[in-house]
Every structure is written in C-alpha cells, then in structure tokens.
Amino acid sequence: MTEYAWTRWPSREALSRAGTSAARRGLARIARLVALGMLLWTTFTDGSLRSWGIAAAAFGVLVCAAAAWAFFRATFHHRLLPSVALLVALLGMGATAYAADLRVPAMVLWCGCAIGALERLPLAAAVPAAGLGLGTYAAATDDAWLNTAITVVGIALAGYVLRLDAEARGSALRLLAQERAARAAEAESAALAERTRIAREIHDVLAHSLSAQLVHLEAARLLIEAGAEREKILERVVAARGMARDGLAETRQALSALRGEMSPLEDFLSELVSASDGADITFSGERRPLPAEASQAVRRVAQEALTNVRKHAPGAKVRIRLEYAEHEVTLDVRDSGGSPGGLAGSGAGYGLLGMRERAELLGGSLQAGPGEEGFVVTLKVPV
C-alpha cells in the first residue's frame, strides 16, 4: 500500500449517499433505526437507573446523536482535526456510559466509532482510532478471548468493506460524470464542426457567385451611364442572370447535401459529364460510399475543373477518372487544351484555391497545373 493510500481521504462521492439505490437507502435506514431502538431499549430499561439517571441517559443519547451527525459532516468536508476530535469525544462518551454501568451502549458506541473511522477517515487516522475503539471493547467485554477476537476482526473487516464499497461507488460516479462531460464536449464539438461545414458550404456556393453578379451588374450600370450599345449591356445582364441561376442550383444541391440527401457520387459525376460536351469519365477500384465531406469535395472540384475548361479552353476534350484506393479516393481531370475563351462565362466559380483549402482540411491535397496537352487537376482525399 502506497503512502498516498494512507493519507488519502475517501472521495466526497463515496462519503455521500449519491449513487445508492432507493432500496439500499431504505435498508440502511431500517438497520439504523433497529440499532438505535435496541440501544435505547437497553439503556432505559436498565433497572439501576433512577430519575436523574434516565434524564442523564437521554441527554447523553442526544449528545451522541449530535456528535455522530457532526462527525459525518466533518468527514464529508475532509476536515481531519474536527473529525478526529468528534470521534474521540464519542469514544469518551462510551467510556462514560461504561463507567455508569451501561455496558451495552458503551460497546455499541466503541464498535460504531471503529466502523465509522475505517469507512470515512484516511487510513493513517482510521487505523489508530479503530484500534482504540476495538481495543477498549475487547478489554471491557466478558466473552471468551476467541469470541472476542472473532468479533473484533469481523467489525474491522466490516468497516473496511464498507470503505471499499463506498470508494467503488464514488469511482463509478466520477467515471459517469466524466463520461457525461465527454459526451457533452463531443456533442459541442460535433455541433461546431457542423456549423463550420455549413458556413463553408454557404461560402463556397454563394460568395463568388454573388460577387461575380455584382461585378456584371456594376458593369451594366456603368455601360448604361456611358450610353453604351444595348447589346453590350444585355450581355452583362445575361451573364449575371446565368450566374444567379447556377448559384441557385448549387445552393439547392448544397442544402440537399447538408440534409444528407446527396445522390451517389458516381451518378452525380456521370450527370455532370453528360451535361458537358466532349467529356468522358471512368471509374476504377471498389466503389463505396464516401464520408459527406470527402464526397462534397470531389463534387466541388469536378464542377470547378469543368467550369475552368469552359472558361479557358472551350471545345477541349476532358477526361475524368475517379479511382477508389484502400485509404483514399483520387479524382483526376485532364483537358486536351484549346483556344482561350472569354472569362465572363457563367459557372460555379468556387476557385481552385478554395478547393485546395477544402482538401487540406480533410487531410488531402489538390494539385493543378499544365499537363502534356492541357491542364490537369488532381484531388486526393483520405477516406
């Protein structure tokens, strides 16, 4: 047994009634009432007591009850000196009762003090106090030495078993409290992560789309003020309308993804390719559902890559490959190159920089740059 175990108090959870069942608390109350009833009966039915003796005995019972209650409160708050002082006072009251020829109450007090000390005090103080109480009991009893020894050992074991039981209950309560705190922290962390994901989706879908619309509308306003031709003004308005329409469609897709209503990734990519001229897609590896964040990242990068092809290399052939590996999924988008196009074309407009940040948040990577023929975008996301 370590030095700390000798000086350590039982926890407050162990010293309280928390965690005990109603049936157990009821049995404990019944046992205390029976013991108190027997103690009072043996005290006040003693024929040697006279009127003043009965009054003194009643007063002694009240003092013992108050001292026992104070001992329980002092030990609950881990106050060593008051606890030891109250315990010594109770032992002294037992000696007074024995001197007054009240042998049974005295022995009950001594044994009760021994059990209470072993159950509620640090062992460094409990062992001497219990030894004093049980030693006094052994010296005062008239039983045979074997019966006395068995009684003393049984009482000591009962007190220590009660201590172990209380500490086990206290440990269970602390573990339960820690588990509840961990679950609350986990729920808070999950809620924060979900809010972050929603914020990222809103930013990815709306930020660039709305800013681009503002640019086109501001350009249209300036053209109107400058008296430009109707066709140029209409071109800006149509571009802003196209971006608004695409942004609305992407917002609906993002809301569906946040509700967990995303279509299978392969179906989404196939539909995306079928809507783009000159694009084809291949799948390799064992297909399986991906986490929501990983699936959304693949969708966003594929959309952005095809949008960039339409904007910068219209008419180019595009080859998309989605590869499922054991621990990651890879999206590879390659175009054959083409003549530069107008940068004002409508599209999702999330930007490869934002997609790279999204991939890195997931522990993956995104590489984008010139290839053998055109431009290559490669996304790797761990799953």
Per-residue pLDDT tens for 91-137?
A: 999 898 888 877 888 888 898 899 999 989 998 899 999 999 999 98
Question: What are the domain boundaries of the chain?
Answer: 3-142, 263-383
**Residue 260: which region, alpha, beta or left (left: phi > 0; alpha: psi -120 to 50)?**
left
**What are phi and psi for residue 224, nearest 5 degrees?**
-65, -45
Could you tell me which CATH class the domain 263-383 is placed in?
alpha beta
CA distance 88 to 146: 27
Per-residue pLDDT tens for 196-251?
A: 767 776 666 676 677 778 887 888 888 888 888 888 888 888 888 877 877 777 77
Tell which wins on pLDDT, 41 or 12: 12
Report the SS3 class of residue 321.
Answer: strand
Question: For the chain, what is the total number of helices (H) and then of strands (E)?
Answer: 13, 5
CA distance 8 to 3: 9
Per-residue pLDDT tens for 70-104?
A: 999 999 999 999 999 999 999 999 898 888 877 88
Q: Supply the pLDDT for residue 154.
A: 92
Contacts of 171 (CB under 8 A, 6+ apart): 11, 13, 14
The pLDDT of residue 50 is above 80 = no
Secondary structure letter of residue 326 according to DSSP:
S
Provide the percentage of residues in the chain whose pLDDT is more than 70.
84
34-43, 44-53, 307-316: segment of lowest average pLDDT: 44-53
Q: Supply the pLDDT for residue 43.
A: 62
